[in-house]
Chains A and B, each alone.
Chain A
Amino acid sequence: MAGKEKIKSTRRFDACPVTETSAGIPLKEVYGPQDLQGIDYQADVADPGEYPFTRGIWNNMYRGKLWTRRVFTGLGSTADTNARYKYLLGKGASGLYCFGDTITHQGIDPDHPLAHGYAGVSGVSIVCLQDMYDLFDGISLEDVSVSFNNPSMAATIVYSAFIAYAQDMGYDLKKISGSILNEPIHLVYSMFETNAKPLDLAAKLATDVIEYSIKNTPRWHPIAPNAYDMHEKGANAVQEMAFTIAIMEEYIQRMVKRGYDIDEFAPRVNVFGCACDIDFFEEICKFRAARKVWAKLMKEKYGAKKPSSGRLYLSVHTSGNSLTVQQPVNNVARVTLESLACVLGGLQSFDPAGYDEGYYILTEHSALTSLNIHNILAYESRVASVADPLAGSYFIESLTDKMEKEMFKIINKIDEMGGAIKATESGWIGKEMESELIKEQKEIEEKKRIIVGMNEFVVSKEEEVPIEVGRDRPLEEQMATSKKREDEIKKLREMRDNGKVKSALEDLRNEAGKGEGYNLVPFMMESLRVKATLGEILGVIRLANGTSYDPYKVLQYPF
């Protein structure tokens, strides 16, 4: 051995370099009883199932019912998605997840010129009522909960189609459970803003779904604002929740204006779809703080009396942004950590991202791995057996309290600006998010945020452990899938009774011109039943509200 250079650890005396949370909240080295000063157990924490629900919304939490174990699903055709549903249900999934394709989110049909190549790409194409028959063929809707990830104005139509299908199939609507994202305001910052404008109309349509749902599908959650997208576009943990709560206030105020008592609808509009990122304790405290803020707001600001109005259901897709394309197998560790935070944070449902999220939609294998992260946490690890096991920790309670105060500061500020729509239109929320995004990216570049395999502990391509990842379909195949869908819709237009379509659309258009108090869901259902399409339905509603038929101003109203 003599003469040979020996390998030394260069990191032997490394210390933890982190002194603040991801959102920039300073962290002390040690927390103690003094950090709990001003926190009253009964008023601020309370037992699980008790107001303000900091410790969770049910007294026995997962002993009563485990979280809903979903896995991201949304594949090219409705038939592919249906097959994946059956596969996952056979492997222990308890809820289904439906992610629309790009153009469904955009609210345009597959035969729209700009949709060329996009139908059935990275999500499932939902255009007409028939699609619901294909998606849920052979699945009993009364025995599974379905979560639709449709955020834009298109959500109104997806909901209408789902309910029309359930009704036509003879299901008891009172037994149908699930949720739909249905929150367009956040889209201005995150994804498909073209189909969120005009904001006022978009918020009106979302409110129609809320109103129809509380009367007809009482087990359904008609709005589940997408905090996730705001986080992934820059909002830190505090902002993510504060912005989302401020956005929800817009709908609460609309429902109150329509004459509903807060306790009539609050228990149904209390589901948030959040992100769960890698900052373990901050994420846990984010969930605890958000529940507390929501409960207080419902009671103190809106005068809710029912305990169920103050219960905030939290649902998560673990952060795709936190994952790397390098060494995808490392993502299993990240997703597991994030999923554990979801459980310790007392969530009602979450879907662990696929380790190959950075590549493409989950493969069957990565979907199964995600499902098994659920199963390992739920059935193997014993972490779910005690409700809110971290309560009472000096650190956890102190950080929860701090985050609650920070959330309220932002919520009050937005209130002073005149609400979330105003704060969106003025660009304030967008600017806040952008500067956070830039700060975060800078920290990654400067290695103040370490991401293993990406900016530190990097390995060469050759050293990577080979693992199967989701792959893009080749361009020709993508174009062919989209073309097939385009042809299907063109055929639908030829085969249907266009006289009936026209008359249903005209009825809808007429109703849509009447304003806020006129609910359009029944009219959308009727249009769908005579085979009108998503693009047509949105188009006439847009026309009735003085905007162009086509959000991209390419198509004209065909009738």
Chain B
Amino acid sequence: MENSSRKIKVVVAMPGLDCHDRGVIYLSHVLREAGMEVVYLGKFNTPEHIVNTAIEEDADVVAMSYLNDHLYMMFFPKVVELLKERGANDICVMAGGRIIEEDRQKLRDLGITGFFGQSTPTPIMIDHITERVRKERWKSA
């Protein structure tokens, strides 16, 4: 029971060299206000660093954002792969930013959810995170 009421911990990060971080700055603020714990990595992270942090911090969620170009299709799957390798597939991976429609199914198949963008109201993001973490905790309880 204690497990399911623990504060939700989210690692917020941008992989690669994308510099459009307006969204993650605001998201981190909103998640904190909603009572979650945020580990803010900001810009310029390698997938390895994101995964290491998520594991060390015992995070529930890795929330990544990417807008600049198409390399997210390299970074996001890499994060999932590394988490799996390290036996940490209970960490929920979410992605947002500018994820084009055609790529979303591929990412969903890897277990990545979210795909929030510029106009997504933040309560929807908060609900999504809360709901996914609740299910994940129930599964592993």
A residues neighboring B (CB under 8 Å)? 102-103, 106, 114-115, 117-118, 121-122, 190-192, 194, 232-234, 321, 324-326, 358-359, 434, 437-438, 441, 445, 454-455, 472-475, 478-479
Contact = CB atoms under 8 A, between A and B. Distances in A.
Contacts of B29: 438
B22 interface: yes
A482 to B, nearest CB: 9
A61 B46 CA distance: 50
A194 B122 CA distance: 30
Interface of A is mostly: loop
Given A358-B118, A475-B74, A121 B25 contact: no
Given A437-B22, A438-B26, A324 B119 contact: yes
Contacts of B119: 324-326, 454-455
Interface residues of B, number: 24
Nearest to A479: B74
A103 B122 CA distance: 32
Nearest to B122: A445
18 contacts: A103-B17, A114-B17, A117-B74, A118-B17, A232-B22, A233-B21, A234-B22, A321-B22, A358-B118, A359-B98, A434-B25, A437-B26, A441-B22, A445-B121, A454-B118, A472-B70, A473-B70, A475-B71
B127 interface: no
Contacts of B21: 233
Interface string B1-29: 00000000000000011110110011001
Given A434-B25, A437-B26, A121 B69 contact: yes
Nearest to B73: A475
Nearest to A361: B69
Contacts of B114: none
Given A102-B18, A438-B29, A441-B22, 9 more contacts: A102-B19, A114-B17, A114-B46, A121-B68, A194-B44, A233-B22, A321-B22, A434-B25, A478-B69
A122 B69 CA distance: 7
B141 interface: no
A299 to B, nearest CB: 37
B19 to A, nearest CB: 4
Interface string B116-139: 011101100000000000000000
A455 B123 CA distance: 14
A75 to B, nearest CB: 13
B97 to A, nearest CB: 11
B17 A106 contact: yes
Nearest to A434: B25
B68 A122 contact: yes
A358 B20 CA distance: 12
B78 to A, nearest CB: 12
A441 B26 contact: yes
Contacts of B25: 434, 437-438
A397 B17 CA distance: 43
A454 B119 CA distance: 6
Contacts of A233: 21-22
Contacts of B18: 102
Nearest to A433: B25
8 tightest A-B CB contacts, nearest first: A191-B19, A475-B73, A441-B26, A454-B119, A472-B70, A121-B69, A475-B70, A102-B17
B121 A117 contact: no
A418 to B, nearest CB: 26
B19 A190 contact: yes
A235 B64 CA distance: 24
A423 B121 CA distance: 33
Given A325-B118, A472-B100, A478 B22 contact: no
A373 to B, nearest CB: 23
A478 B71 contact: yes
Contacts of A118: 16-17, 69, 71
B68 A102 contact: yes
Contact of A472 (B69, B117, B121, B122): B69
Nearest to B21: A233
Contacts of B122: 445
A122 B119 CA distance: 23
B38 to A, nearest CB: 14
A103 B33 CA distance: 35
A455 B121 CA distance: 9
A191 B46 CA distance: 17
Contacts of B121: 445
A232 B21 CA distance: 10
Contacts of B19: 102, 190-192
Nearest to B42: A193
Contacts of A325: 98, 117-119
Given A192-B19, A437-B22, A437-B25, A117 B71 contact: yes
Nearest to B67: A358
Interface string B29-44: 1000000000000001
Contacts of B117: 325
Contacts of B17: 102-103, 106, 114-115, 118
Nearest to A187: B19
